[in-house]
Amino acid sequence: MQRPRPQQMQIQNKKQRTTRINIHKEQFKLNMLEIKENGVLIKNQNKINDLKQSYYGKQTQNGLLLNHIEAAYLLEMQKLNLDREKLFETANKQNPGFELKFIVYRDLRERGLFMKQGGQSADLFLYDRGKKPDKHQFKYLVHIYSEKDTIKIKNLHKKTQKAQNIRKTPLIALVDGEGDITYYQTNIYNPKGNAEQIKNTQATGTLLNERTLIWKNGEKLHKKWFYGKQFSGNTYQLSLTETQYLQNKGNLKLKNNHKKIKEKTNNPQRFQQKQKVYTDLRERGLIPKTGFKFGTDFRLYTEYTDPQNLKHAKFLVHTTNPETELQPPELSRTVRLTQNVRKRILLAITNREINYLEIERIKL
């Protein structure tokens, strides 16, 4: 058997020493990191200084504590050396919805935005572009949902109200099954218009199955206050919603008054809910007209002078109640359609009073 030459032995010994040194280095790195139930503790001062410059972690007496989401992101960026399986299993156990929070956190960091882990009021606290945590206040309260979640209207309204009470902007991050994210901004809106209230006019008409035909003052109703539309010749028609409103106001007398309007509808309870919203909008100086072709209850005009100079409706209004559960695909479809036709969507939440919630798809 041929014995190795001295030069070959030196090369082999050097490789073995290098391997042992690398193993010790990796072990040292792991010893300077500790996966805990509340995050990952960094003990290496050089690493701490580097991470703090990019606004990662929270300084403690024992080192820099990263939350699990920050640690997972830094691991992906190859800035930490951790047991990936252990980190993700620990994080998933301690943080409900960890995978969604990680997906959103990564997306926002890659957009150059800074954030902090949220608390009871939100999943993440997000800073505006160009704003840094050590010099500015955060702007957004980020609420994260999956496409499989249901969003209860009263919870969405409550979160929006709380955010606006502390002068923050509520943000919905909706994550689909492939990890793509759509961002929505919500806002409690107080709609107002310039339309005059009807006065000194008495119209008469006949209630049919789906509309009311106006025999007297129909043209005046239409041209001055934009009620109804022309039906045939000098005869004008009103929708059932308009009919009920004008009758309640005392400005319309039906010849067949014994017939109840709500009995003409397929869903009397739904009709009364829409009627309540219609009445509120009219009293605010706004003009609601059918929003059927847009898939909503009303299209809404905020300015009116006469039919010939009518400007485009600015809003679409959909009637809901606090217990309504909004499915993410429905939300996505409604908002996208609204913005495609250059309008804004309002959810009219009917309870003892009516609140209007605006939802807008945004780009960060």
Give the tens place of pLDDT for each residue, 100-112: 999 999 999 999 9
Rounded to an integer, what distance in angstroms lies between the CA atom of residue 317 and that of residue 335?
11
- DSSP letter, residue 148: T
Tell me, what's the pLDDT at 118? 87
The most confident of the ranges 72-81, 283-292, 303-312 is 283-292
Could you give the percent of the chain with pLDDT greater than 90? 76
Closest CA to 142 of 167, 110, 119, 112: 119
CB contact at 8 A, 73 and 106? yes
Give the tens place of pLDDT for each residue, 207-219: 998 999 999 999 9
Could you give the percent of the chain with pLDDT greater than 70? 90
**CATH number for the 21-94 domain, one of 3.40.1170.20, 1.20.210.10, 3.50.80.10, 3.30.2130.10?**
3.40.1170.20
Rounded to an integer, what distance in angstroms lies between the CA atom of residue 167 and that of residue 163?
6
Closest CA to 174 of 79, 97, 104: 104
The whole-model pTM stands at 0.85
Query: Sign of torsion, CA 159 329 104 316?
Result: negative
CB contact at 8 A, 173 and 183? yes
Torsion of Cα atoms, 283 then 165 then 101 then 33, to 10°: 180
Distances in Å between the alpha carbon of 90 and those of 26, 30, 37, 53?
22, 16, 7, 26
Q: Kindly report the length of the chain.
A: 364
Least confident of 10-24, 49-63, 157-171: 10-24
Query: Sign of torsion, CA 216 218 220 224?
Result: positive
Is residue 343 flagged as an active site residue? yes
Domain ranges (residues) in the chain: 21-94, 203-359
Is residue 258 flagged as an active site residue? no
Give the tens place of pLDDT for each residue, 256-274: 865 677 777 778 889 999 9
Is residue 131 flagged as an active site residue? no
Active-site annotation holder among 227, 301, 304, 356? 301
Residue 257 exposure: Cα atoms within 13 Å on the Cβ side: 8
Give the tens place of pLDDT for each residue, 155-167: 999 999 999 999 9
Tell me, what's the pLDDT at 21? 39
For 178-207, letters b (16+ CB in 10 Å) and e give: eeebbbbbbbbbebebebeebeebebebeb
CATH class name, domain 203-359? alpha beta
Mean pLDDT of 313-326: 96
pLDDT class of 96 with cuts at 50, 70, 90: confident
